[in-house]
């Protein structure tokens, strides 16, 4: 349909980004990035986009979550107006999750929606957050409270950008790759175990294959469920506890990847408590292979439970994504308090 789009994955794609931007009526490309990504990849992206003969204008956000704010959004909107963006012109988001979320929401709302191309430069972006059309900004009251679904025209994943990621940012992406491997049927989990050395060393060819395979899991789920009813909830595996721990730590504690790793261990323990297949060992060895934590949530169970009640996914009772077995996720409601507490103590 009109909402389908091409995801291109491979090395050095920024150099030919222009050909991959699907925008026949555009005159201007607004390249939104952040200061650290601009220094690493901005020039290649600008040159690649300029190859189309279109005018390329660049807007540079401050790195970090503070750019997902109403203030940053207003400055982006006003800049789009100042450079004369029309509704057929294109916003390209070059960077990690923050840039994709903030630039994506600006594109979703400016002129009631202008074409967007996601150009994620992090592993998390390439396999997860840049696919599926979710965009958002934060409020002082909480993260991602204001947003929109705005499907991109194209997603351009230049796997060469993964070479420049700091280790902890790469590890966050690996936590999500492991999540995709655990919730999807197939051999991805086995390959992540077997290839941990090569992937950790960031062998270019292996990484490109990993991005293709992990992104395919997200694509398959989103295709079936574009606006997060049932299937898409499986992508929140490990995130119910992760979000609580991140919020309790004021987003200054564990990285997102570390929180998700602990959250998946919690889910594995909870599944075992409830009589599903015991796959705690598989979870542990996968996470340890990528130096991700398996315990260390750190807060009292009562505090975590209080946070859950306020979560935006809390409709008519908490629901947890658990694995009946590897590759077989289920949504479970009405989990007994005792099982929750016991599973939590195992990762605290």
When divided into structural domains, the chain yields a total of 2
Return the closest-CA partner of residue 205 out of 344, 338, 12, 347. Answer: 12
Q: Which residue has 């935006």 as its token pair?
A: 312
pLDDT in tens, 284-339: 999 999 999 999 999 999 999 998 877 655 555 788 999 999 999 999 999 999 99
pLDDT at 92 over 60: yes
Whether residue 251 is found in the same domain as residue 270:
yes
Q: What is the three-class DSSP state of 315?
A: coil
Whether residue 298 is found in the same domain as residue 217:
yes
Q: What's the pTM?
A: 0.93
- Torsion from C-alpha of 120, 171, 36, 32, nearest 10 degrees: 20
Q: What is the model's pLDDT at position 171?
A: 96
Which of 129, 164, 199 is the endpoint of a domain? 164
Whether residue 150 is found in the same domain as residue 97:
yes
| Range(s) of the domain holding residue 54 | 6-164
Residue 1 lies in a domain: no
Looking at residues 165-186, what average pLDDT do you find? Answer: 96
> Rounded to whole angstroms, how far apart are CA atoms 186 and 345?
31
Query: What DSSP character marks residue 62?
Result: P
Which of 164, 184, 206 is the endpoint of a domain? 164
Active site amino acids: 112, 134, 176, 218, 228, 232, 236, 239, 243, 256
pLDDT at 64 over 90: yes
Average pLDDT, the chain: 94
Strands 55-61 and 28-34: parallel
Largest CA distance in the chain: 63
pLDDT at 159 over 50: yes
Return the closest-CA partner of residue 101 out of 118, 83, 89, 113. Answer: 118
Whether residue 247 is found in the same domain as residue 141:
no
Q: Which residues pair with 139 in a beta bridge?
A: 142
Looking at residues 236-258, what average pLDDT do you find? Answer: 94
Whether residue 132 is found in the same domain as residue 175:
no
């Amino acid at each position: 349909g009109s909402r389908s789009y091409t995801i291109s994955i491979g090395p050095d794609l920024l150099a030919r980004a222009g050909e991959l931007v699907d925008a026949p009526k555009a005159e201007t490309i607004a390249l939104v990035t952040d200061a650290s990504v601009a220094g690493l990849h901005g020039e290649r992206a600008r040159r690649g986009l300029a190859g189309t003969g279109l005018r390329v204008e660049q807007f540079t956000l401050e790195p970090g979550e503070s750019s997902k704010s109403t203030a940053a959004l207003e400055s982006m909107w006003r800049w789009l107006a100042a450079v004369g963006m029309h509704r057929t012109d294109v916003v390209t988001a070059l960077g990690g999750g923050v840039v994709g979320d903030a630039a994506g929401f600006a594109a979703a709302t400016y002129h009631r929606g202008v074409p967007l191309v996601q150009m994620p430069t992090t592993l998390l972006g390439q396999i997860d957050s840049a696919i599926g059309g979710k965009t958002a900004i934060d409020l002082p009251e909480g993260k991602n409270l204001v947003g929109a679904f705005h499907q991109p025209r194209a997603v351009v994943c230049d796997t060469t950008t993964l070479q420049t990621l700091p280790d902890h940012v790469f590890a966050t992406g690996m936590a999500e790759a492991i999540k995709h491997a655990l919730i999807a049927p197939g051999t991805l989990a086995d390959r992540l175990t077997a290839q941990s050395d090569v992937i950790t060393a960031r062998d270019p060819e292996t990484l490109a294959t990993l991005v293709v395979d992990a992104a395919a899991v997200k694509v398959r789920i989103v295709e079936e469920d574009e606006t997060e009813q049932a299937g898409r909830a499986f992508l929140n595996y490990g995130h119910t506890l992760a979000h609580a721990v991140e919020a309790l730590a004021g987003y200054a504690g564990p990285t997102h990847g570390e929180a998700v790793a602990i959250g998946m261990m919690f889910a594995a323990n909870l599944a075992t408590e409830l009589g599903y297949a015991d796959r705690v060992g598989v979870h542990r060895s996968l996470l340890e292979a990528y130096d991700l934590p398996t315990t260390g949530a750190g807060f009292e169970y009562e505090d975590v439970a209080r946070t859950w009640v306020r979560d935006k996914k809390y409709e008519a009772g908490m629901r947890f994504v658990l694995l009946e077995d590897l590759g077989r996720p289920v949504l479970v409601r009405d989990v007994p308090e005792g099982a929750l507490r016991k599973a939590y103590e195992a990762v605290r």
